[in-house]
Amino acid sequence: MSEHKKPHGCIVAFQRFLSGSLALLATGFLILILIFLGIEVQIEGMSLLVLAISGFFVLRYLWKKVKRKPSSNTAAFKHLFFDFLRTAAVIILFSVIMSILAHNAGYTGETIITEEETSKTEVVETTEGDKTIRYIINKLRWKDFDGDWYRMNFKIAENGVQASKQNREKYRYTRQFTWGNFYKNMADHDRPLLEHLYTSFSKIQKEKKMNRRKFAEFIITSIQNIQYNYIKSTPCDGTEDYPCVGNVRLGIFAPAEFSANLTGDCDSRTVLLFVILAKFNYDVAILNSNEYRHSVLGINLPARGKSKTYNRKKYYFVETTAKGCTIGYLPSNVSNINFWDFVLVN
């Protein structure tokens, strides 16, 4: 009989206060999760909106039919117990969702780099056998054409960068000079210097289970994301509308150099991409245009858009100097394919 007595006022007040606090806690936790996913993991737009609406719908469903007028002290404590269970369920559910989304977006818990500051460079020393090797590490963060975010270290040995520079600078500019032969010389020399890059790209491919098309786009967008720079064989004159590096022999950085300094123009990028994609057995080419004074990559993959044929194979253009330029896209000011010539094909 005592179980059905009118509940004590203090117990009811305590139950209502704690139940309300738990509901606020669950709501606050959801808001923090949404803030984390929006700022840290960079989930944007409609995806974040759908997640927010779904989250608040779950909260409303869990609490909307809860009785706040218990008929006895036992009922009051029973309601409170179920409020604890609801709150725990919300925290566990949203934590699992956050972990899944963060993992899929490539979030690793490292220091967050904003979209405006997409790289961070450091130099580390390691001892390998009886040798001390200095590595230049660029921590990059970018998103691909599908909006998926990635993090990866561009790691290269400092002595490899020096060797790359020496090889580029000693290349002779003669009457027989062609850009294709020059690019090939740099590509062949620097290919073994980029082993850490190959390993890092391959590791993420396996983790994300990327198909061949997705993997190519993953590599291409990593380079597109890097700030464009003019690389001149003459001094910069201050009138350039992009950052400029002057007095660089032949006006290009070799693949290992570019991987270390992240300072490159069009052909610095195309040669690096040529080396990396060829390493993973993609059929790629470099096309130059004297008319446009520009260099792009060509890739033999099923796609739509602009392409050019070589040996009965269709190579789709890849603009490497700007974000978001999908395979097959050429900006309108360089879009006449008659002005483009193959200079190197792997």
Secondary structure (DSSP) of 39-83: HTS---HHHHHHHHHHHHHHHHHHHTT--SS-SSHHHHHHHHHHH
d(CA 315, CA 327): 10
- Residues sharing a CB contact under 8 Å with residue 158, sequence separation 6 or more, in sequence order: 123, 133, 134, 135, 136, 260
Among residues 76, 104, 132, the one where a domain terminates is 104
- Looking at the structure of the chain, the number of domains it has is 2
- Whether residue 110 is contained in a domain is answered as no
The verdict on 142 and 194 lying in the same domain is: yes
- Whether residue 273 is contained in a domain is answered as yes
- Whether residue 251 is contained in a domain is answered as yes
- Specify whether the CB–CB gap between 203 and 222 falls below 8 A: no
- Whether residue 199 is contained in a domain is answered as yes
Q: What is the overall mean pLDDT for the chain?
A: 82
- Specify whether the CB–CB gap between 346 and 278 falls below 8 A: yes
- Whether residue 131 is contained in a domain is answered as yes
- Whether residue 188 is contained in a domain is answered as yes
- Specify whether the CB–CB gap between 259 and 272 falls below 8 A: yes
| Percent of the chain whose predicted confidence (pLDDT) is above 90 | 47
pLDDT for position 204: 93
The verdict on 208 and 319 lying in the same domain is: yes
User: Which tens digit of pLDDT belongs to each residue from 101-135?
Assistant: 665 554 444 333 344 445 577 777 777 777 888 88
- Whether residue 69 is contained in a domain is answered as yes
Block residue for tokens 């500051």: 117
Helix (H, G, I), strand (E, B) or coil at 164: helix
- Specify whether the CB–CB gap between 7 and 13 falls below 8 A: no
The verdict on 46 and 123 lying in the same domain is: no
Among residues 72, 104, 136, the one where a domain terminates is 104
The verdict on 47 and 153 lying in the same domain is: no
Helix (H, G, I), strand (E, B) or coil at 117: coil
d(CA 230, CA 321): 11
Inter-CA distances, 315 with 3, 281, 286, 287, Å = 81, 15, 10, 10
For 45, the token pair is: 């737009």
The verdict on 123 and 89 lying in the same domain is: no
The verdict on 90 and 134 lying in the same domain is: no
- Burial class for 28, CB neighbours closer than 10 Å (0-12, 13-18, 19+): exposed
pLDDT for position 106: 47
d(CA 331, CA 337): 11
The verdict on 22 and 86 lying in the same domain is: yes
- Burial class for 281, CB neighbours closer than 10 Å (0-12, 13-18, 19+): exposed
Cα angle value 293/298/304 (rounded, 5°):
115
The verdict on 91 and 131 lying in the same domain is: no
d(CA 301, CA 213): 8
The verdict on 301 and 195 lying in the same domain is: yes
pTM over 0.85: no
The verdict on 296 and 249 lying in the same domain is: yes
Among residues 44, 69, 104, the one where a domain terminates is 104
Identify the segments of the chain with pLDDT beneath 70. 1-20, 22-23, 26, 34, 36-48, 50-51, 58-80, 98, 101-119
- Whether residue 112 is contained in a domain is answered as no
- Residues sharing a CB contact under 8 Å with residue 147, sequence separation 6 or more, in sequence order: 44
The verdict on 140 and 91 lying in the same domain is: no
Host domain of residue 127: 119-345
| Percent of the chain whose predicted confidence (pLDDT) is above 70 | 75
d(CA 19, CA 123): 53
CA Rg, the chain, in Å? Answer: 29
pLDDT for position 13: 62
- Residues sharing a CB contact under 8 Å with residue 244, sequence separation 6 or more, in sequence order: 229, 230, 231, 232, 236
The verdict on 139 and 270 lying in the same domain is: yes
